[in-house]
A and B are shown apart, each in its own frame.
Chain A
């Protein structure tokens, strides 16, 4: 297994795209606390501002870092087919399960490290503008920040699974962007219509929307007067929905990878 991990680490670190994707993700994420600092640094910090600043706006539906890390996840498997490197890869490392496990482990480790680094960088930026970053280790902020790390990790692994499932990059990119932006928003919106109220129980199982609740400070904000009762799961239950979604994709891709010709 160590050989497989060394292989995947070398593969990841010898690709230029790894660096520019991480770089752009970090910069986009950093832009949120910097812009907020320039615009409203005179206002006192509230937990919502701290959360949004540290996760780079991910809690408000713009998970920059998660998206760029998910592209790295897609590239981890999709590039092998796009550029035909799956053949030399499997002649260097023919144990297919070991190969996939190593990809998951290395990409996960890099994702967690980059996400934590991004939060530290953003915290530094907030410190510059506000002079403090209060409540970091108190709930619900602590759980929301931990949820951000988990969210980014699951998002990345979903990308990795889709790249392997579709054996390419474009289809995986389309799914990972279309699903949360269009399909889930469409279902959520339609569920407000009386004629489509049968969609209401479905909403809490929408994977990307559920995953976003991992980062939420106020878990009740999606409920209220005049809104359908979506009967959402809690933070970690919603995260579980997202995790199961990613796990199903990876499991299907893994089984097919073992069965299919390379």
Chain B
């Protein structure tokens, strides 16, 4: 169990992390989402005491810096290639293991577990980004910890590697471990995470389960097809719904439940050929939630080829929050 309370970090005039509080439960994968520059990595570094700020993070009731042999309790993966180029991958892990009472046998075990057993005596400077990520995961698993904190672990992995990582994390969560993993790959998070912590510009946007996030941050729409669609529009609008024309003559109705639309069609004696709900994807929900809180926004490409690639700052961060556990 991870409990973060009032995490706050300021770099001169910029508030990078603003009073974040959340819990990460064991037995599930909790995704940590946010646009680039939203403060995900800084938050994780604050949690581990790597950066100094305000607030407190407890790992099963203990602050990270108070844990005597932390790798046996909390496994971390923060940066893609934090390895000395001339020290072999195995020796890199042996070095970290030696500070935590972990033996060489376990080092070899985790190297095999992440699929690097055959290259463990090679220097990581020759590793691809994907291999480096695997080595990072091996490092996190060294002490067989009950809590894992992983910053963008799928970066650089090929599709097979991403699939492997997803299965690995779900398997570890199923064993009752606490998994907190950040990613900007929303499609991955949709497949991997059970719960989400979503931030924008260092501020909490959402903390809760994935389905609730999608529900809270997308307006569900009802799709209606009817031979007399045009006539039905005025009835829908009269009932307070917003109606837009979709492709092939479909009506996209928002602000009204599917059951109510069906009832209205019945009372108006309108024949329907389709009545369905369109669910938003996690990606759509994410864009809706964080759209105005991106730190760096590229200009839209202009017609004719000119593209002023100036980075601009949005006027205001998203402030919509939701979720049962949002503190």
Interface residues of A (CB under 8 A from B): 3-4, 6-7, 9-11, 14-17, 79, 83-95, 259-262
Which residue on chain A has the smallest CB distance to residue B53? A261
A92 contacts B70, C-beta separation under 8 Å: yes
A-B pairs under 8 A by CB, number? 89
Chain B, 44-93, CB within 8 A of any chain A CB: 45, 48-52, 64-65, 67-71, 74, 76, 78-79, 81-88, 91-92
B45 contacts A15, C-beta separation under 8 Å: no
Which residue on chain B has the smallest CB distance to residue A259? B52
Bound complex: CA of A3 vs CA of B67, how far in Å?
13
Bound complex: CA of A94 vs CA of B76, how far in Å?
12
Bound complex: CA of A79 vs CA of B92, how far in Å?
14
A-B contact pairs, 28 of them (CB 8 A): A3-B69, A3-B101, A6-B98, A7-B95, A7-B96, A7-B99, A11-B95, A14-B88, A14-B91, A14-B92, A83-B82, A84-B83, A85-B82, A85-B83, A86-B82, A87-B79, A88-B96, A90-B50, A91-B78, A92-B70, A92-B95, A92-B100, A93-B70, A94-B49, A260-B52, A261-B50, A262-B45, A262-B51
B52 contacts A93, C-beta separation under 8 Å: no
Question: Closest approach, in angstroms, between the C-beta of B182 and any C-beta of chain A?
Answer: 15
Chain A interface, DSSP helix/strand/loop, else mixed: helix
B82 — which chain A residues lie within 8 A by C-beta?
Answer: 83-88
Question: Closest approach, in angstroms, between the C-beta of B145 and any C-beta of chain A?
Answer: 11
Q: Given A87-B78, A91-B70, A261-B45, do A14 and B94 touch, yes or no (CB 8 Å)?
A: yes
Which residue on chain B has the smallest CB distance to residue A94? B65
Chain B interface, DSSP helix/strand/loop, else mixed: loop
Q: Is B139 an interface residue (CB 8 A)?
A: yes
B67 — which chain A residues lie within 8 A by C-beta?
Answer: 94
Question: Closest approach, in angstroms, between the C-beta of A177 and any C-beta of chain B?
Answer: 23
Question: Closest approach, in angstroms, between the C-beta of B93 and any C-beta of chain A?
Answer: 9
Which residue on chain A has the smallest CB distance to residue B46? A261
A11 — which chain B residues lie within 8 A by C-beta?
Answer: 95
- A-B pairs with lowest CB-CB distance, top 5: A7-B99, A14-B91, A84-B82, A92-B96, A261-B51
A262 contacts B50, C-beta separation under 8 Å: yes
A84 contacts B139, C-beta separation under 8 Å: no
Question: Closest approach, in angstroms, between the C-beta of B297 and any C-beta of chain A?
Answer: 27
A94 — which chain B residues lie within 8 A by C-beta?
Answer: 48-49, 64-65, 67, 70
B84 — which chain A residues lie within 8 A by C-beta?
Answer: 15, 79, 83, 85
B83 — which chain A residues lie within 8 A by C-beta?
Answer: 83-85
Question: Closest approach, in angstroms, between the C-beta of B263 and any C-beta of chain A?
Answer: 58
B71 contacts A92, C-beta separation under 8 Å: yes
A87 — which chain B residues lie within 8 A by C-beta?
Answer: 50, 78-79, 82
Bound complex: CA of A11 vs CA of B97, how far in Å?
11
Which residue on chain A has the smallest CB distance to residue B82? A84
Bound complex: CA of A15 vs CA of B87, how far in Å?
6
B87 contacts A14, C-beta separation under 8 Å: yes
Residue from B50, B51, B86, B91 within 8 A of A91 (CB atoms): B50
Question: Closest approach, in angstroms, between the C-beta of A3 and any C-beta of chain B?
Answer: 5
B81 contacts A84, C-beta separation under 8 Å: yes
Which residue on chain B has the smallest CB distance to residue A12? B95
Question: Closest approach, in angstroms, between the C-beta of A34 and any C-beta of chain B?
Answer: 30
B91 — which chain A residues lie within 8 A by C-beta?
Answer: 10, 14
